[in-house]
Amino acid sequence: MYFVSRDEWNAEPPREPYTTITNPKGVKVHYVGPEYSSRDHSKCGAYMKSIQEMHLANTVEDYIDIAYNLGVCEHGYVFDGRGKGHKSGANGNTTLNAKHYAVLAFLGKAGLTQPTDDQIIGIQDSIAYLRRAGAGDEIAGHRDGYSTECPGEALYALVKNGSLDPGKLYDGGEHTVQEGETLESIAEGYNVPKRYVIAANSLADDENVTVGDVLEIPARGVPLVNTPPSDGGGGDEGGDGDNYEPFPGASFFKDKPSSPIIKAMGQRLVEEGCNKYPEGASEQWTDDDLESYKCWQEQLGYTGADADGWPGQTSWDKLKVPAV
């Protein structure tokens, strides 16, 4: 999923600690209200910030933070609000907030009223993200249980017909391309949008895969590290946040390259106590890298074929290799 952290949209910290949500039944979907105007993605972070400012200024509701757990813009990016594990302040009352998470779609009763295809994908991603955090399978509208027009007719129709359900969630991993397969068919088989397979493997949009290629398959509802820049910051601090090297794709390592990325990886492995380098890390991939990375995978709890020494998206993200 394309995920925008609180730091990236320049969020203010909550005024009080969040209340933990326990065994939520699922997710309730919201829209912004009377009017929302379509905008460039570079302005979406500032819009998320404006909602937080409005909520913090509301002396009647006395919000401690933006009311929603997540927000989804028309471009399909998921903005972190109160986040997973916390009760929202958006569903109408304390009882309703305890039963469901709250996901906001940047849509209104006027202006932009119809969710875009990318936004539908983003809402599905947000629901998958919260299900991975323990949310139940229910998908409802704000109006279900509370007297309101929210989330609007267009979005509520998608709630009712099941279009917002992300479907079966796979945990991701590697896939070796077989005869007759395409990016489309591979993505469909793992129930993950094609654009995320492209992003995870640093492919060009029109790049054809060939038999024998090893692709990293990202898990639905898990933030991608190499997300296209959101340009969505609420102020001068917008951007990518921590400057880590994006996962270059599984095939990059199996080509045994000579690259500054390999040396940076090796240095991080040494820092994490996985030093299998008799003469220190270098730019050339060797069996020492394989053994050191296997140590890192085992340190993360991987076993068997999952600890084979070849980097994958999830373990790479946790290593936090500095950008070179």
Query: Is residue 308 predicted with pLDDT exceeding 90?
Result: yes
pLDDT at 313: 85
DSSP states of 152-190: -HHHHHHHHHTTT---S----EEEE--TT--HHHHHHHT
pLDDT at 250: 84
Tokens of 282: 């270098």
Domain 3-161 has CATH 3.10.250.10: no
**Alpha-carbon span 226 to 2, nearest angstrom:** 9
| pLDDT per residue as tens digits for the range 185-197 | 999 999 999 999 9
**Alpha-carbon span 44 to 24, nearest angstrom:** 28
3-state helix, strand, coil in the chain (%, to 5): 30, 15, 55
**Alpha-carbon span 320 to 58, nearest angstrom:** 39
The answer to whether 205 and 198 have CB atoms below 8 angstroms apart is yes
Q: Would you give the end-to-end CA distance of the chain in angstroms?
A: 24
CB contact set of 109 (below 8 Å; sequence gap of 6+): 31, 33, 34, 35, 149, 152
pLDDT at 242: 52
| pLDDT per residue as tens digits for the range 250-302 | 888 998 999 999 999 999 999 888 999 998 999 999 999 999 999 999 888 88
- Can you state the angle between helices 260-271 and 287-299, rounded to 10 degrees? 40
| pLDDT per residue as tens digits for the range 98-119 | 999 999 999 999 999 999 999 9
Span 1-25, average pLDDT: 94
| pLDDT per residue as tens digits for the range 233-261 | 443 333 333 578 888 888 889 989 999 99
Span 128-149, average pLDDT: 96
**Alpha-carbon span 236 to 102, nearest angstrom:** 28
Where exactly are the structural domains of the chain? 3-161, 242-324
Mean predicted lDDT score pLDDT of the chain:
90
